[in-house]
Amino acid sequence: MTSMGVAGGLKSKLGEGEGKSEGLGTAQIEAFLLPLSPS
């Protein structure tokens, strides 16, 4: 569940400049964090 929090933070930073690609951005960020986050 930590990855979701981190993804939210990253999405917020990215969302500041790219609010239009929020959905795709979130999906890509989550895909990036899945292997990075120590589940």
5-39 residue pLDDT tens: 776 676 666 555 555 555 566 777 777 777 766 65
Nearest to 29 by CA among 16, 8, 19: 8
pTM equals 0.28
**Cα 35 off chain centre by:** 13
How confident is the model at residue 39, as a pLDDT? 56
